[in-house]
Amino acid sequence: MEIGLSGFSEDPGAGRSTGQGRWPARETSGETPNPAGHSGPGSGTAGQSRRPADNAEESPAAEAELGGAGPRCPVSAADSRLLKKSLALLEPQSEKAMAYFFATFFVHNPELRPMFPLALDGSRQQVFGALTRCVWASDRPESLTGWLTELARDHRKYGVLEHHYGPFCDALLAALRAFGDGSWSPQTEAAWAAAVHHIGAVMADAARRFSAEPAWWVAEVVEHDQRRPDLAVLALRPDQPLPYRPGQYVSVQVPRWPRVWRDYSIANAPGPDGLLRLHVRAIPGGAVSTALVHQTTTGDTVILGRARGGMTADAITSHRVVCVAGGTGLAPVKAIAEALTGPHRPAPHPDVQVFFGARSAADLYDLPDLLRLAEARPSLTVVPVVSGEPDYSGLTGAVPEVAAAHLGPRTKDIVISGPAGLVTRAAAIVPAHVPGASVHRDPLPGWTGHPADT
């Protein structure tokens, strides 16, 4: 979940353009893309191929990349407890409070309204969810600062600049004050003011420090492989190098739906061709996913945000790795497995076992590619698992249970990716069979589940 000047809702009513699948060439002024007459590429949602909230902890590589600690957190331990209590009392009125917040924000800053989708339902939920995350991380300032810094860097693709965070935080504090009810006191107001202004200061500082890096990339669709009626694998070529670590994801905007973004995991490790491969399932009512699967062809262009995410190959250092993936949650697992077993990884390569689960054999949409990869990588083993076909010739059952039953005793790292239910189940039962193993998981944000992915 995210906080800032962003909309986060993949809403079919969020302002459709009549574009034919191509963005204009990258402007050289450093402005955000303006394909449909809006003030920026807009806002979007965390979506199908990643989590409800980014991991608060970034890998060592990510921490080194950020550089600088940002503004110091002024929230004391006593204030942190007070904020958590106040937030719990506010939660039943969260929708009304967020509606008040957006109304206040737009009344005082009408020029910023075009940055957001027309429908704000998802935006209200996401901003409150992000505020909740900030409050519960207020007693872990280094983690919170790292997450807010990454968030601000990502928000640059919406056209968010350093000076936008002040008005945003002022409106947020006004909403909190208006809905504080009987719990509001001078102490509560002081704690909220310190926390909210710290959020704004960290994000404004990051927007300034990283203003020279690209805010977005134009990418051409060079391959569109329809693997299933509702699923496609796309290969994208960005107009300039887009740095990422295996296991991360990028946000995607299509010309047909300006101001609407969806996050998708990159399904390959970085290669010399610079291509990014995405696994996309069309979700009923999902504007971006439907456009990518059914309305996109080779030669079309999309807009990409910067890569994000903490479940990466560089966080894995052991020599025995087990990966559990369901549905299109395979994408980050495949990138991690490719990186861990690739020629650029210092020898000896870790033994990597990938359990790939789906409802039917037909839904193992990437199995041929996985098996070809395993054939070329002796340290990689691929185990397909089918849960809905008892007569399947391979392993059958729910992939978490099957993986747990076949774990090697020396397993030290467990990577889990897929629908929220699968991630929760796998995280509960798989590590229990190998006490002491490190668990790496990135639940997919906004994932409601798909029958083929269970």
Sign, Cα dihedral of 4, 159, 329, 257: positive
pLDDT for the residue 21: 58
pLDDT for the residue 117: 79
pLDDT for the residue 436: 87
pTM: 0.79
237, with CB counted inside 10 A (0-12, 13-18, 19+), is: middle
Q: For residues 81 and 249, what is the distance between their CA atoms, to the nearest angstrom?
A: 33
Give the fold, CATH level 3, of 217-304. Answer: Elongation Factor Tu (Ef-tu); domain 3 (2.40.30)
The Cβ-side half-sphere exposure at 326, using a 13 Å CA radius, reads: 32
pLDDT for the residue 48: 41
Contacts of 157 (CB under 8 A, 6+ apart): 32, 40, 41, 215, 216, 251, 261, 303, 305, 306
Pairing between strand 276-281 and 231-238? antiparallel
pLDDT tens string 44-93: 333 344 333 333 334 434 433 444 456 777 788 999 999 999 999 999 99
Give the fold, CATH level 3, of 316-453. Answer: Rossmann fold (3.40.50)
pLDDT tens string 394-403: 999 999 999 9
Residue spans per domain, the chain? 60-209, 217-304, 316-453
298, with CB counted inside 10 A (0-12, 13-18, 19+), is: exposed
Question: Is the distance from CB of 288 to CB of 252 less than 8 angstroms?
Answer: yes
Residue with tokens 């959020």: 199
pLDDT for the residue 70: 63
Q: For residues 311 and 256, what is the distance between their CA atoms, to the nearest angstrom?
A: 31
Nearest CA-CA partner of 289 in 259, 261, 325: 261
Q: Which residues of the chain have pLDDT under 50?
A: 1-20, 24-68, 443-454
Pairing between strand 249-253 and 301-304? antiparallel
Report the CATH number of the 60-209 domain. 1.10.490.10
Report H helices in 6-119. 60-66, 77-90, 94-108
Q: For residues 14 and 258, what is the distance between their CA atoms, to the nearest angstrom?
A: 8
The Cβ-side half-sphere exposure at 339, using a 13 Å CA radius, reads: 24
pLDDT for the residue 50: 39
